[in-house]
Chains A and B, each alone.
Chain A
């Protein structure tokens, strides 16, 4: 009788372990993003921008994306080691000044980078708009960013515009996206 109980217990434990592993697999598959915002936008959708809380590059507290709801947000993913990011930086700086009075906020998310390098980059290229640091790159997955730079324009309702241009943006492309977001 004891042997039978022991056998049943072992079988139940084995089934529980397999069920647990399957649950972990299911959770992982349902949370891996499937290309994130970039993929949805490429299919003509306007998904809600995934929220995040990231620290300021300069240690001035955290910024929560949802706290910017009601404003047009230009979200630029960049890094100091990314060559095209150097070409783009002046466009974002210019747009942040020109559109500030119309409720547009430019946010730079520095990913997979040394904070010291990012600060040096900001000084060198005269960046004054808010810069956040995401060293581990945890925001890249939900937004579907695989290469830098990458920019998303988010309207006042928190939805991402579907006219995303992958890679480096020109000043004209950035202007057009911001104007469209202001109209929507």
Chain B
């Protein structure tokens, strides 16, 4: 429980600002999450007529009290899902968020299995080598003892 407590506190510390920005987003936050449909950059990097119009729309919706999700949904209804700089975490798009970490975990497992098998396959070769000639072993011990002194 003592180990879990810092993790829970950290999660709470991160969740609070995320919840606040979801409920009361700023124009700057949304400008970096929304694409300008004709310039293919985010709104904060565009000054095209439609980008300016979209910024004005976002400001109006913020003033009206819309949440970040509500504003994004309204923009998606007008311009399609490509208006979001990163895909939504719903339906098929969820794969975009799930597959990379799953791929990394799978790759780590495969690498681990290969590394384990590789190390195991080397051990018998060392252990089961041909026995040394007693005379050679004696001489080797003598040489090593002399080397130590």
Contact = CB atoms under 8 A, between A and B. Distances in A.
Interface in A61-87: 79, 81-83
A121 B82 CA distance: 25
Contacts of A138: 80
B79 interface: yes
B119 interface: no
B57 interface: yes
A56 interface: no
B50 A81 contact: yes
Contacts, number: 36
Contact of A137 (B37, B49, B53, B110): B37
B117 interface: yes
B38 A137 contact: yes
B80 A117 contact: no
Contacts of B37: 112, 135-137
Interface residues of A, number: 16
Majority DSSP secondary structure for residues of B touching A: helix
Majority DSSP secondary structure for residues of A touching B: loop
B53 to A, nearest CB: 6
B57 A114 contact: yes
Interface string B49-88: 1100100010000000000000000000111111100000
Interface of A: 3, 6, 10, 79, 81-83, 112-115, 117, 135-138
28 contacts: A3-B117, A3-B121, A6-B113, A10-B110, A81-B49, A81-B50, A81-B53, A82-B49, A83-B49, A112-B38, A112-B50, A112-B79, A113-B50, A114-B53, A114-B57, A114-B78, A117-B53, A135-B37, A135-B78, A135-B79, A135-B80, A136-B37, A136-B79, A136-B80, A136-B81, A136-B82, A137-B37, A137-B38
